[in-house]
Structures are given as C-alpha cells and as structure tokens.
Amino acid sequence: MNYFTMGEYDVIVIGAGHAGCEAGLAAARMGMKTLLLSINLEAVAMMPCNPSIGGSGKGHLVREIDALGGEMGINIDKTFLQSKMLNTAKGPAVHSLRAQADKEQYHLEMKKTIENQPNLDLKQGEVVDLIMEDGAVKGVKMRTGAQYLAKAVILCTGTFLRGKIFIGESAFDSGPNGLAPSMELAYNLKEKGLKLRRFKTGTPARCLGKSLDYSKMTEQKGDEVVVPFSFMNETLDKEQVSCWLTYTNEKTHEVIRANFHRSALFGGQIEGVGPRYCPSIEDKINRFADKERHQTFIEPEGLNTDEMYIQGMSSSLPEDVQDAFYRTIPGLENLEIVRPAYAIEYDCIDPLELLTSLQHKSIPGLFCAGQFNGSSGYEEAAAQGLIAGMNAALWIQGREPFILDRSEAYIGVLIDDLVTKGTNEPYRIMTSRAEYRLVLRQDNADLRLTERAYEAGLVSEERYARFKKIKEDAEKEIERLSNKEVIPSQVNSFLESVGSTPLQNKSTLAELLKRPELNYAMLAEIDPERPELSRHSLTRVEVSIKYEGYITKQYQQIEKFKRLETKKLDPDFDYQSLDGLRIEAKQKLSQIKPLSVGQASRISGVSPADINVLLIHLEKMRRRKPEEV
C-alpha cells in the first residue's frame, strides 16, 4: 500500500459512537485541532441497542457529563420521546432520570453539533493501523492509504473491533446493526502489544408497531412535568410517546427451553464474556427457572419509524425460534420482526493497562474510552470519552490530567473501578457501586464538577454563568429559609391542615422543611416572600435542607477517604525494590501503577500492612528530598 498524508491534527478519535463523540467534542472545545473518524457516518452517536438514555446510575452519569460541558444531556433533551424520573418514592440520592430517545434524531442532532463544532473534522473511513514513533503513537493509517498525523489518538472502537454477530447457528464478522466490522485494526493493535480480549453483549429484536396489539399491554406514560437532563435547560415541553408493558409466560419459556440447543450462547460458539445484568432471555430462563414470567417493555425507536424495541428480550436464538417465542407474549401474537435479535462479540482491552487519565500505561499519546475499555452502555462510554478527550488535550498542553475521584463523581467511580480493579464482564455503573452516594446526587452534579471543568477549559462562559446563578440562588434561598422565623400562631393552622404537628415555639422555615411530610412546594402557603427560582436551584434547596444531617455525615466520611487519596504516588515508582511489601503487593502495584495511596489501597492483593509500608516510605522520601536538593 502506498501511504500518503492527508492531514495533521492534535487529536484523532477512532470511532464516533457515544465515547468518540464526547472525546472529539471535548478535545476540540479545549482548543485542539481534532479529527473524528467513523467507519460509517451513519454510525455517529448510533444507538444500536436500547432506545433510551439514563436510568439508575446512568442518569447520574449523563448529568455529570453535562456538568462537565459534555453533549449527551443536551442532545437527549433535544430528541427525547418520553421522560421519566425514576425512584422518586426513594431518597434524592437514587432519583434517576431516564428518557426514551428518537434514535434517528439523536444521531442527526449529534452529527449536526459535531459538524458545527470549530476545530473538529468528522470523516468517514476505516482506521487499520496506528503510526508509531519511538514507542509513542503519532497518527493513524486508513484502509485507503491515507494517513493522518496527530499528537494523541483516542481509541473508541465500541463493538466494531473484530465484531462477530451470532444468530442461532449462524455467526459472521460484523459490526453492530449490520455495519462493517473493523478487523485489521484489531490485529495491528495486538501487534503493538495491547492485550485484547473478547467481551459479548446482545440486543433484542425490533418489530413493527402496527403488528402489535397494545390493548393487551399496559401503557407506560412519561412524567407530566419533564425534568431536563441538561443544567442548561429549564423546561422541556413536548407531546410524549408511550411505552408498553407486557410479560412472557410459561408458553414462551417452553418454546425457548425446547430450543436451548440451537442458541449460540449454549452451543459454545461464543467465547466472549457477557454481562450479568444484561442476560439474554434464554439465559434468564435457564438461570431463573422458577420465575413464572419476565416483564418486557415495548419501546418506540423514533417518530419517523414504526419500529419498536422489545426490551429485556435479547437473544441469540435462530430467527424461527425468535418468531415463535416472541409471538407467545400477549400483544405480540402477530408481530413482524424487522431486525432479529443477535449477540455480538468484540475485542476490548483489559482496563488495568490504563492510567486513571485513560492514557495507556506503555504507549504515550494513546488514550482509550468506552466499550473498548470493557464497559457497557451509552452513558458509561460517553463519560469515558469525555474524560479521555479532556486528558488528551491536557496531555498535549503539558498540563495535569483531569482526574475525578470516587467522592467527586460517578465518573470517578466508573474509571477508578475499571483501571484499579479491572472487570471480568462488560462493566455497568450502579448507584450501589458508589460509596458516597448521598453526596453524588444528580441534582448537584454541576456543583461538584462545573467549576473544575471550567478551570480545565471545557466549560463555556455561558454555562459557567448559568452555573454560578443556580448555585448562588440556591445558597441565598437556603440562607433565607434558615433565618426566616415562623411563630406558632402564623403557621399552626397550615400545619394542622396538612397533618403536621403544630409548633410549640418559634421555629424557622428550614426546620419545617426538614419534616418528612412537608416539602418546599407545600410551604409556599406560609412563605409569601419566596423568590422565583430555577428548577435546578429549587431541587438543591430542598435536598440540602431536608437531608442535611445525612449529607454532613457523608462529607465526614469523604474527608477521611481523601486523606489517602491526596497522598500521591509516582506511577513509575519501583515497587520491587521496596522492602517490607509482600510479593503479591509488589506485583499488583507494579502492574496497576496507582496514582495515590488511596487507589493502591483498593487494589485486590494489597493489604493494609502494605499500605502502611507505602506511607512510611513516602514520608522517608519527603524527608530525604530537601537534603538531596
């Protein structure tokens, strides 16, 4: 092949899925000349699986991406079909926003945003190799012979990398949704020393809405008042589209059981490891044999299509079996499948090869994000993409990497889990993975992150100004409520009318707000002077006051956690030479190269005694330094 150079960039992003889009936008917004490459431009921000964004834990990630100046929140706000705040019966830490997306619109809006982004070029083409120089990455080679040079490259290959689809007994090389896979790049990455492994995921069938009988299902409507994902949006008014709930039954299970042997999953053809939280329907029936029915939501794929997504029912059974078992479900008796369910296997990296900045430990300039890092889900991918994009830019600028720790963001939890503990299955975020869930709420994501991203250079002046306003309004209102005295004669008739205990002595509005049976909206009746507040400020006021005690306790835990987190370790430190460490600890520390003692303490195989040895060593070094200088 005769190679020719077609352009020179600061950053090149391989893959324009959810990770790639955020990576490209972040790098460009931080002033980097950036090239975003996709094997097919129809795959830009494509949602090859479920037509929704957010949900438990994932919704938190989207809020954080937004607070950092990312695009996912804004894009779903533009293109949602239905929106729901989940878990509202529970505490504010687990309130989770989820929206059904119009897939085509989502893709088009994101593509438009990218096309309009200064510093960012979007091009169709297949990368087949990396250009290396002295062990560092210097650009990419295309299938056509074109090459692009760059200071940093971000791999966001998703399920394209040596993708293989399984439908029953049939298996073939393919990217998601029938798009071309990226085969050659996988071989060349291996040759560069990257240790690739196989993961697997799957998606259910799509059917035509007109072939379904909705009268046999339960309608699932969106919320009456839509809460936007983006802190930049105040209200979103839109005609919402419904989802539909129905269930499998014993008949369904019989059909599936009778055909277990024809499933790729049980046939042994699939070598990749699938996620436990996203099992195929045959896996569910196999593992939970005593469960009489499994629920499934029928979800719209978009306004310009009649295609419907059959949630919870991914499968690698042959098409005839798919037809048969889907049709046993009430409402689906006459369904017409237009895209069959499939399982897909792909190459990914062991994330233990990465630094917390998502840069590869042994290849300078190479950053990695998304499913390539062993995660699963659009939101997890986007979050990593954003961080990888930022860190590629910061690295080129010679600045410190942007690292969020476990007490600052779900993104911090996600990345720390991946690069410190590794994962044996596609990794999904969950609120229970976060130790400091009460503080990492979706309502305060901007408070936690926007300032920091502004300093890094990713947040626009417009967003920053709005952030300041929301923050200050909330602070002022909390102050006002805490100082606003109420006396029994003024408020007791109101309290009695809502079934709350009357006051004996004077109190404050803030104190009243702490009562479980009262909320901010209700107090309007006895609080005529309240200011006009944005939704975001208002939620913050309510949560901050109501749960002050718990939140304060959690901040104390965080303070303790930070003690070890702020003790920095040199990633190039020679652990083999440190006496006192056990052999296993030496090996693990040398492999993971933790950036802080806190991170070291989370590595499996590193004991508290090893951490003490590290602490003492650090102190020794600190004291020696002045003498050496």
Nearer to other proteins, 41 or 615 (CB): 615
By residue count, the chain amounts to: 629
Sheet holding 164-167, edge to edge: 170-173, 164-167, 342-349, 196-203
Nearer to other proteins, 437 or 463 (CB): 437
Nearest to 101 by CA among 46, 156, 43: 46
Nearer to other proteins, 186 or 278 (CB): 278
Nearer to other proteins, 109 or 610 (CB): 610
Report the nearest approach of other proteins to the CB of residue 405 (Å): 18
Residues of this chain that interact with other proteins (CB under 8 A) are: 49-50, 55-57, 86-87, 90-94, 96, 247, 276-279, 284, 287-288, 291, 293-295, 297, 311-312, 314, 421, 430-433, 437-438, 516, 547, 550, 553-554, 559-560, 563, 579-580, 604, 607-609, 612-613, 615-616, 619-620, 623-624
Report the nearest approach of other proteins to the CB of residue 623 (Å): 7
Q: Are the CB atoms for 484 and 508 separated by under 8 Å?
A: yes
Nearer to other proteins, 468 or 514 (CB): 514
Strand partners, 295: 247
Nearer to other proteins, 297 or 402 (CB): 297
Strand partners, 198: 347
Q: How far apart are CA 233 and CA 534, in angstroms?
A: 10
Report the nearest approach of other proteins to the CB of residue 96 (Å): 7
Nearer to other proteins, 291 or 469 (CB): 291
Nearer to other proteins, 166 or 454 (CB): 166
Joined tokens for residue 211: 């072939």
Q: Are the CB atoms for 51 and 41 separated by under 8 Å?
A: no
Q: Are the CB atoms for 428 and 63 separated by under 8 Å?
A: no
Report the nearest approach of other proteins to the CB of residue 360 (Å): 25
Report the nearest approach of other proteins to the CB of residue 161 (Å): 22
Report the nearest approach of other proteins to the CB of residue 412 (Å): 17
Joined tokens for residue 248: 């499998």
Q: At what angle do helices 378-396 and 18-29 cross, to 10 degrees?
A: 30
Nearest to 414 by CA among 462, 381, 390: 381
Sheet holding 96-101, edge to edge: 52-54, 96-101, 80-86
Nearer to other proteins, 314 or 539 (CB): 314
Report the nearest approach of other proteins to the CB of residue 158 (Å): 17
Q: How far apart are CA 155 and CA 87, in angstroms?
A: 35
3-state secondary structure (DSSP) of residue 379 = helix
Q: How far apart are CA 491 and CA 621, in angstroms?
A: 63
Joined tokens for residue 505: 């002595």
Nearer to other proteins, 39 or 298 (CB): 298
Report the nearest approach of other proteins to the CB of residue 183 (Å): 28
Nearest to 419 by CA among 339, 356, 500: 356
**Strand pairing category for 34-38 and 120-124:** parallel
Report the nearest approach of other proteins to the CB of residue 493 (Å): 25
Nearer to other proteins, 88 or 235 (CB): 88
Q: How far apart are CA 42 and CA 28, in angstroms?
A: 21
Nearer to other proteins, 57 or 370 (CB): 57
Joined tokens for residue 503: 């006051």
Report the nearest approach of other proteins to the CB of residue 132 (Å): 36
Nearer to other proteins, 24 or 204 (CB): 204
Joined tokens for residue 311: 């949630």
Report the nearest approach of other proteins to the CB of residue 86 (Å): 4
Nearest to 357 by CA among 456, 455, 443: 456
Q: Is the dihedral of CA 359, 360, 364, 367 positive or negative?
A: negative
Nearest to 433 by CA among 447, 424, 421: 421
Report the nearest approach of other proteins to the CB of residue 329 (Å): 14
Where do the H-state alpha helices sit in 182-279?
A: 184-191, 250-258, 264-267
Report the nearest approach of other proteins to the CB of residue 627 (Å): 11
Q: Are the CB atoms for 213 and 206 separated by under 8 Å?
A: no
Report the nearest approach of other proteins to the CB of residue 287 (Å): 7
Distance of CA 563 to the CA centre of its chain: 27
Nearer to other proteins, 462 or 579 (CB): 579
Q: How far apart are CA 624 and CA 629, in angstroms?
A: 9
Q: How far apart are CA 515 and CA 501, in angstroms?
A: 10
DSSP assignment of 44-93 equals: TT---S-SEEE-TTHHHHHHHHHHTT-SHHHHHHHHEEEEEEETTTS-GG
